A and B are shown apart, each in its own frame.
Chain A
Amino acid sequence: MNPREPVILLAEDDRNDVFFVRRGIEQAGARVSLRVLPDGKDVIDYLAARGMFADRNQFPLPSLLLLDLKMPLAGGFDVLEWLRTQPALDYLPVIVLTSSPEERDRQKAAKLGATRYFVKPPTQEMVSEMIQLMRSAPTAM
């Protein structure tokens, strides 16, 4: 693992979707470290450097969070709500990547501070926008 590579944290419990995101990023040719967590609870622990994610060197803060909404223990909305209480993470761009085309989900995500809202499957356009967003974000401390 190259510690100088920016980290994208992908919260996704569907391994097929993980595959397509990873493939999209690879095809875009970006040098990125993609860390995948299958649940919102893990995402919060990771971002808060709690429990098994306590070591920031091993689990550095990401430059972008790709967030599925529907996950087993804590969903994407729970993560977004938690993020609002974390001023230190204000810098972190969050892209919701979900299978829900529902307008109410889109609006709720926007209200809770999501930067973008993409409906699966991820297209090449989406991936390049993700990478752009990751690069323009302030570097993680």
Chain B
Amino acid sequence: MKSLRPSPPDIEPGEEALVQQDNEVKPRITGGLLGEFHERDAFFFESVSAFFNHAFENGAGAGRNGTASNSGVLTQLQSIVDNTTEVIYVKDLDGKLILVNRPFEEMFGLFRGQIIGKTDFDIFPEADARRLRENDQKVLTTGNPIEFKELVPRPDGLHTYMSVKFPLKTTEGSIYAEVGISTDITDRTRSCESRRHLAAIVESSDDGIISTDLNGIIASWNKGAERLYGYTAEEIIGKPVAVLIPPDRQEEEPGFLDRIRKGESISYYETIRRRKDGSDVPVAVAVSPIRDEAGEIVGGSKIARNISVRKQLEMQQKVLYQLATTVNRAPALPEIYEAALDAICHCQNTNRASILLFDPRGVLRFKAWRHLSDAYRAVAEKLLEAKRTHKCNFESTYVSDVSKAPWDEEIRALAVHEGIRAVATLPMTYGKRRLGRFTVYYDTPHHFTREELFTARTIASQVAFAIERHERIAALREAVVQMEEFSYSISHDLRAPIRAMQGYAEVLRQDYGSQLDGTAKEYVQRIIEGSERADRLIQDTLIYSRVSRRELHLGPVSLERLIREIFQQETRPEFSHAQISIESPLLPVIGHEPSLMPAISNLLSNAIKFVAPGTTPRVRVRTEPHGGNVRLWIEDNGLGIKPEYQHRLFGMFERIEATEKYEGTGIGLAIARKAVERMGGRIGVESDGVTGSKFWIQLPAAANP
């Protein structure tokens, strides 16, 4: 039977296009009676029709009455159709099934008795049944065999059938029934479709996808591989994959083949491959074994992705990072220029670059360069000199091809002679300040991409930043040096005449005291006191400026030791009269001892100094933990400071007490506050203005030694 049937419809991808939306295979009916059915097909249909007619007629016309009989011929027909793999059915003119074969029963899990006499509408959902009925009507109306692609719902989903339907005619030629032979092509359709999809994916992939046999001979080659390696499929298929591998990496391929033979995959491997034109390309490769239907490993697939863009970006990132690191290290400028030239040459794959900076006259001068001849630089500088100041173009300029650029003939000739074919010039600015130019040269005409200009600009701005910072640091250093010289000369030169006043007044008193009356002696005394005060002011101002600007290296300070040292060194007479109690152990702090010393010393001397006449100064020194900090308290029995004055206390030249009664420059607490704040601490006072003051200094706690 099978040999008589039309060969199963061939649904290779190319032919699939013939199947129209209505699922009818058009060409086969457009050509007339039997369309393009072959002669053999026509013979087949006629034979089958005759056979059916014979069977139905001999079955006492049962068929025509819509019921299958058990007559011998019909039984014979039934057993023939039952033993095919195709689904075969006969419907009368009303669409009632009058014969179905076993595959039909199996298809729906129904018995013949449940099916015979039913229509498609009884078996299928209405929409599907209507479509099937439409196909039947076409056959019955045209009287011709037609092949359809039919979709039929089954319990496991929609199945695709290729159905050949043809009418049964009486010997007089009138149609009385229709036969359908349907072949389930669902699997074939599916696998074909997925195969086609896969093929399309492989072909359109940007990745190079190739397969080799177990000896590394290339068996397939997609368009992506052609783009990646430069070989066409015709050129490369049949060649060993080794032609793609640079000499120093030839050992990779045997390793891959070994892994493939063992059934292992390599999901990611970065390597270098060689193109047809001899250039190398960085690729990421995935390798997997290919198995035949029996599961035997027959070869390997390789998917290679061009990672040169990523590698380039990674390299640029690294180069920019290194440059930033160098700039941050703040070395001398020439080192930064060299690092910037290195970076741009590396990123742009060129070996020529230059940095030009404005000289004091506003003329651009080469400051650093790579591979530019003396002659070229001389001519370039000559031209730059001519168009200095406002005429100088300060935009970015890109010359893709020097030979076509509207340049001065002399410099163009020189550039071409040097091998310079393209130039990108970027302004180096910091804020609005123009510093110079950063130039990259290429030895071939160059199309500038946004990415590479971005990189070049980043490098240029790093250089500009470095120059600006360098100049600012130099200016700051200069200012600090000048400040120090100023302080130094104050301490030497300004104090000398004050010392002289003081000294001579002293001499007057000692040597001529007997000749002076009381008033004269009083005046001499005032000169001495005035000059002493002037001297102290100068010294305190110097201490204040030193505390303000010197570099502080913070470390643990033992307050216990420091405060005892201060008392030991203190020679002022009032210290010896005071009662001092130190509540040991004092907690250690983090600070800068040379700055902390004058601060504490000031608080102590204030505590002793400002007492009511006739009172013995009593000072209590203690520490207490205060969060992660330590508070040093210096408490006295002095005059105290009224709350309304306390805010003025730590300012420069602020004095709460009148000069006459209590000596002081008014700088001491300013020094203390400046020192403590610079150490990251705080200073304060608690006082009601009657019963003494409690000054405190708060600094981070140090671990107990």
Chain A residues within CB distance 8 Å of chain B: 14, 16-17, 19-20, 23, 70, 98-103, 120-121
Contact = CB atoms under 8 A, between A and B. Distances in A.
Interface string B465-498: 0000000000000000000000010011001110
A139 B491 CA distance: 36
Given A100-B491, A100-B492, A120 B499 contact: yes
B496 A16 contact: yes
A68 to B, nearest CB: 9
Contacts of A20: 503
A16 B488 contact: no
A99 B491 contact: yes
Contacts of A120: 495-496, 499
B499 A99 contact: yes
Task: Give the top 3 A-B pairs by smallest Cβ distance, nearest first.
Answer: A16-B500, A99-B492, A20-B503
B453 to A, nearest CB: 52
A16 B492 contact: no
A99 B496 contact: yes
Contacts of A101: 491, 539
A16 B491 contact: no
23 contacts: A14-B496, A16-B496, A16-B497, A16-B504, A17-B496, A19-B503, A20-B503, A23-B507, A99-B491, A99-B492, A99-B495, A99-B496, A99-B499, A100-B488, A100-B491, A102-B488, A102-B491, A103-B594, A120-B496, A120-B499, A121-B499, A121-B502, A121-B503
B404 to A, nearest CB: 65
Interface centre among B492, B500, B539, B594 (most CB of A within 10 A): B492
A129 to B, nearest CB: 16
Interface string B85-97: 0000000000000
Nearest to A19: B503
Nearest to A70: B492
Contacts of B491: 99-102
A120 B495 CA distance: 10
A32 to B, nearest CB: 20
Contacts of A17: 496, 499-500
Contacts of B594: 103
Nearest to B503: A20
A14 B493 CA distance: 10
Contacts of B504: 16
Interface in B630-667: none
> Interface majority SS on B: helix, strand, loop or mixed?
helix
Contacts of A14: 496, 500
A140 to B, nearest CB: 30
A16 B507 contact: no
A121 B535 CA distance: 11
Contacts of B502: 121
A20 B502 CA distance: 11
Interface in B37-79: none
Contacts of A103: 594
Contacts of B488: 100, 102
A100 B500 CA distance: 15
Given A100-B488, A101-B539, A102-B488, A16 B495 contact: no
B567 to A, nearest CB: 20
Nearest to B499: A121
Contacts of A102: 488, 491
Contacts of B496: 14, 16-17, 99, 120
Contacts of B497: 16
B499 to A, nearest CB: 5
Given A99-B491, A99-B492, A100-B488, A16 B539 contact: no
A20 B507 CA distance: 9
A17 B500 CA distance: 7
A102 B546 CA distance: 10
Contacts of B492: 70, 98-100
A19 B507 CA distance: 11
Contact of B499 (A16, A23, A70, A100): A16
Nearest to A120: B499
A101 to B, nearest CB: 7
Nearest to B511: A23
Contacts of B507: 23
B104 to A, nearest CB: 112
A119 to B, nearest CB: 10
Interface centre among A23, A98, A99, A120 (most CB of B within 10 A): A99
A121 B505 CA distance: 13
Nearest to B497: A16
A20 B504 CA distance: 9
Contacts of A98: 492
B660 to A, nearest CB: 25
Interface in B295-343: none
A114 to B, nearest CB: 17
A98 B492 CA distance: 8
A100 to B, nearest CB: 6
A126 to B, nearest CB: 13
A63 B500 CA distance: 27
B488 to A, nearest CB: 7
Interface in B564-608: 594
Contacts of B500: 14, 16-17
A102 B484 CA distance: 11
A74 to B, nearest CB: 16
Nearest to B494: A99
A29 to B, nearest CB: 15
Contacts of A19: 503
A16 B500 CA distance: 6
A121 to B, nearest CB: 5
Contacts of A23: 507
A17 B488 CA distance: 18
A70 B485 CA distance: 13
A76 to B, nearest CB: 11
Contacts of B499: 16-17, 99, 120-121
Nearest to B510: A27
A130 B38 CA distance: 138
Nearest to B539: A101
A121 B507 CA distance: 13
Given A99-B491, A100-B491, A100-B492, 6 more contacts: A16-B503, A20-B503, A101-B491, A120-B496, A120-B499, A121-B503
A17 B493 CA distance: 12
A58 B502 CA distance: 36
Contacts of B503: 16, 19-20, 121
Nearest to B487: A102
A51 B500 CA distance: 33
B487 to A, nearest CB: 9
Contacts of A16: 496-497, 499-500, 503-504
B497 to A, nearest CB: 8
B326 to A, nearest CB: 33
A26 B374 CA distance: 74
Nearest to A15: B500
Contacts of A100: 488, 491-492
A80 to B, nearest CB: 17
A77 to B, nearest CB: 13
A125 B492 CA distance: 22
A98 to B, nearest CB: 8
Nearest to B500: A16
B275 to A, nearest CB: 68
Interface centre among B497, B503, B507, B539 (most CB of A within 10 A): B503
A102 B500 CA distance: 20
A71 to B, nearest CB: 11
A95 B495 CA distance: 20
